[in-house]
Copies of this chain bind each other. A is one copy, B any other.
Amino acid sequence: MKPIKSIKIEKDMKVSKLVKEMGGCGFGAGKISLASDIFKEMVDDEKCKVFLGLAGAMVPAGMKSIIVDMVNEKKIDVLVTTGANLTHDLIEALGHHHYSGDENISDAELNKKGIDRIYNVFMKNEVYEDMENFFDEHWEVISKCKSIKELLEKIGSLIPEEKRKESILGLCYEKKIPIYCPALADSGIGLMIWGKKAAGKEIFVDAFEDMKEIIDIAWTSEKNGVIYLGGGTPKNFIQQSLQFSKGAIYGIQITTDTPQPGGSSGAPLKEGISWGKMNEKAKFVDVFCDITIALPLIYGSVK
């Protein structure tokens, strides 16, 4: 048994040192450190395909640059995310901002001011107008897309070049990182497409087309690794793609959802072993933490 080593904080300490020191501790601190170690090993393992599942409103909350960095440095091979994160990414690429707010403010007041609230992050409702303009301007090329992945790639390519380096959609296009988003209809981007269809415009995007590709990646790679930032569809879609593979050999999950209510989002990674989604010999860790706290800390320790 390895003794707990009480964490010693030093002046001007580096994040990497702090996280290393956390490794001597129990509870969540030890898990942050373990996640850092697994992250390093996973992204450095050249035989491993890294699947990032990104749920939550991580772009509005300010986590975009970390995802962009991971893509830029080829730390991940596949991104599965929500339509919401991609919509907010596009909104920022179109020059809009999200804003710091107070979660206890009156929602009725916000509504009167045309401000949408995401916990303590605010967004002006007017962003939808520029989204509409973007889809108006580019409808011809967008409407030709046949799969969700292709559609997202196309949107990425339409983001002005100087903005692409700071956009998940833009940079994934440039770096040829596939983005899968099974529930894209359930997002602002979905609403834009609905608007066109409601106006009589045509587009046919196959709901199941992307499955072959992601499952092929999962089945043909030598090793798979997973990073789940939140649960929901992104986590589940990756899990499903791994179900009849050898199972992931590395895993990191960060969420504050808990196992007891039985949902997939709160299920610990080890549950995936029964399904074959996680390999029983995998190195993995469940970090019970707000993603916006744990992710910068872990990423800051491996950068």
Contacts and interface: CB of A to CB of B under 8 A. Distances in A.
A83 to B, nearest CB: 9
Interface residues of A, number: 126
Contact of A5 (B62, B255, B270, B289): B62
Contacts of A92: 6
Contacts of A265: 232, 265
A122 B97 CA distance: 40
A285 to B, nearest CB: 11
Contacts of A293: 22, 28-29, 32, 289, 293-294, 297
Interface string A255-267: 1111111111101
A275 B111 contact: yes
Interface string A15-37: 11010011011111110100000
Interface string A84-109: 10000000100001111101100110
A4 B62 contact: yes
Contacts of A271: 107, 117-119
Given A101-B1, A119-B260, A62 B29 contact: yes
Given A62-B24, A289-B293, A207 B148 contact: yes
B233 A121 contact: no
Given A7-B296, A13-B303, A26 B119 contact: yes
Given A211-B194, A270-B104, A65 B288 contact: no
Given A6-B62, A207-B205, A259-B103, A121 B26 contact: yes
A206 B194 CA distance: 12
Contact of A27 (B5, B21, B292): B292
Nearest to A188: B240
Interface stretch (A40-48, A53-61, A129-137, A153-161): A53-61
Given A7-B62, A110-B274, 10 more contacts: A4-B100, A13-B15, A25-B292, A110-B273, A119-B267, A182-B185, A194-B211, A205-B208, A261-B292, A293-B293
22 contacts: A4-B62, A4-B97, A7-B62, A14-B15, A25-B62, A25-B292, A26-B100, A27-B120, A56-B264, A103-B259, A104-B104, A107-B270, A108-B273, A120-B262, A121-B262, A191-B240, A191-B243, A203-B208, A232-B233, A256-B288, A260-B290, A262-B290
